[in-house]
Amino acid sequence: MLQVRLRGLALDQSNSPVVILEVEKTNKGFGIWIGPFEAEALALAVSGKDFPRPLTYDLFLNTVSQLGGTFEKAVIGQVKDNIYYATLHLQDRNGQLHVIDARPSDCLVLAVKNGFPIFVEDAVFAESSIDLSNLQTDTLQHGQEEENEGFKKFVENLDIEELKKHFRGKDENNESS
């Protein structure tokens, strides 16, 4: 297994959100297309903004914590027909490990909010990886600290309301098709 980290969040040519994951200390990674609501949740998690009331991910994190559980890691373990599958690894208060089927996008939001590591199975990485060194976005810079700051600036400048309007319009167009 290889540890990955969030390198960026972007929109592809058709304006679908893509999360770019990168293997630590390499220029190799892969993209996972996610839904608009998951992209919004991920952008909000990266921004670190607090809300007066808990959002769904916060509710889940708080529930696990109140029950004495801890998040160990997330593993992207399989890809079939360009759909990625992940598992969330939790430890309960008695030390018992629980592996829960989860969407990679949910694992990413939880990992950003809670700080646990994300891994990808070697076979998935071998099948999906690309060279990211030529990837050009405003969020990608050299050096991890600069990169994190660049991504945070991207998210801070992201207009969530505009993103919502964009995806609502896209959903309405899809419904009429």
Q: What is the pLDDT of residues 123-157, one digit of tens each?
A: 999 888 888 877 654 343 333 344 445 445 555 55
Distance in angstroms (rounded) separating the CA atoms of residues 22 and 58: 25
Structural domain spans, the chain: 2-176
Which CATH number does the domain 2-176 belong to among 3.30.465.10, 3.10.690.10, 3.40.47.10, 2.40.30.10?
A: 3.10.690.10
Mean pLDDT of the chain: 80
For the stretch 49-85, pLDDT in tens is: 777 888 889 999 999 999 999 999 999 999 998 899 9
The pair of three-digit structure tokens given for residue 21, joined into one six-digit string: 């994951």
Q: What percent of the chain has pLDDT over 90?
A: 43
Q: What's the whole-model pTM score?
A: 0.74
The pair of three-digit structure tokens given for residue 77, joined into one six-digit string: 């373990």
Answer positive or negative: Cα dihedral of 47, 51, 57, 61: positive
